[in-house]
Amino acid sequence: MTVPFSLTPLLQYIEQQHEPICAYYYDLDYLAQRARWISENLPQRVHFYYAIKANSDAPVLTTLAPDVHGFEVASLGEIHRVRQASPGTPIAFGGPGKTQVELQGAIEADVELYHIESELQLVRLNALAAKSGKVVKVLLRVNPRFDLPDATLKMAGKPTQFGIDQDRICDVLDSLPGYSHLRCVGFHFHALSNNLDARSHLLLVQSYVEVARSWQRAYGLDIKVLNIGGGIGINYTPGGAQFDWPYYCQELERYLDSRDFDFSLAMECGRFVTATMGCYVTEVTDIKVNHGENFAILRGGTHHFRLPSSWQHNHPFQVIPVEQWSWPCPRPGVSQQKITLCGELCTPKDVLAKQVKVDQLRVGDLVLFDMAGAYGWHISHHDFLSHPHPHRIYYHDNQLRLTDEVGH
């Protein structure tokens, strides 16, 4: 990649503010370059979908559209977001709880591909497609029975609400001729989230392929695509090794060239695409000592940035010193001490980093949480206590665009 993530526009924004600062900042030029880097490394036989649950803002979708095959969505609301931001981009519709209303809306929106999570979803979609006079393409999502590599989250390989148990797939395949308005074009596996090891991920893909080929041979299936899911992670540990994308793509291409099958692969990543293009910056509004421990209160918290609390980790951050102090009292602060970074909510669970050592942190300084472009704002409980929303700042082509409204 040649375009570095730039904080300069954010620092310029900060200098112009007169109220306590709280903002997300997204570098869209960096994101566009990252998307090209991701797609250019992939083998041609692999279609890349962006999973918009990670960050579904319209400027993000518009930036990514030229360099992805499609968008993966998990609700009718996300379908509408894609159609508004990039009307012609293909959509793959996932999610375990597709309702009749959502399936009907998806048909009306000409969704390209449906990830089927249960036999009831087959029945519903077939009936609605028949009523609409359409034949729609589906993938059967499988909850596999084989071993999976370690990852932060596992959605399959164990009892969960996701997919169809691998032991039930043969029964579902037997029933497919009864669905005249569905065309099963393959399978979908998405078993884990935030895997950081490229080698184990390659072995996982190989397991997916071999299982799919066994069903293809047994049933004479005309498989067009095998969706291998996402699950490629970001290392939030400071200085930690990141997923080796060039190695993964090189070895995946070598594997595909060595195997004789004619279907393409698809993958659907979210965090891996957008995490590093954004940060969350917020002002320290108070510092106190309780029971011998230091606490910094921030103008923000988990209602804006829920990821650290959700994953129970100390999110990486940096301190931006602010020298101005105008209050008629000594400035509270700590030096070379441990401190817990807390939000402004009325709950002790509003913590973004616990007992982390800082060189210096004072009231009025800013804390910038790195790698906050994915699963930050978009998984947070925005209106708990009705605090103001943070600004969301988009940098593109030497211009800043600001909003504090959801979905703009």
Active site residues: 346
User: d(Cα 332, Cα 335) in Å, to the nearest integer?
Assistant: 11
DSSP track, 71-109: EEESSHHHHHHHHHH-TTS-EEE--TT--HHHHHHHHHT
User: Token pair of 371, please?
Assistant: 């790698």
Nearest to 231 by CA among 167, 156, 306: 156
Helices (H) and strands (E) in the chain, counts: 11, 20
Q: Which residues of 102-115 are buried (b: 16+ CB within 10 A; e: fewer)?
A: bbbbbbebebbbbb
E strand intervals along 82-219: 91-93, 113-116, 136-143, 153-154, 164-165, 182-188, 192-193
Q: Which residues contact 200 (CB under 8 A, 6 or more apart)?
A: 149, 150
Nearest to 115 by CA among 51, 192, 35, 205: 51
User: d(Cα 93, Cα 32) in Å, to the nearest integer?
Assistant: 24
User: Token pair of 183, please?
Assistant: 């065309």
User: d(Cα 83, Cα 73) in Å, to the nearest integer?
Assistant: 11
> Cα dihedral angle (72, 78, 80, 85), rounded to 10 degrees?
-70
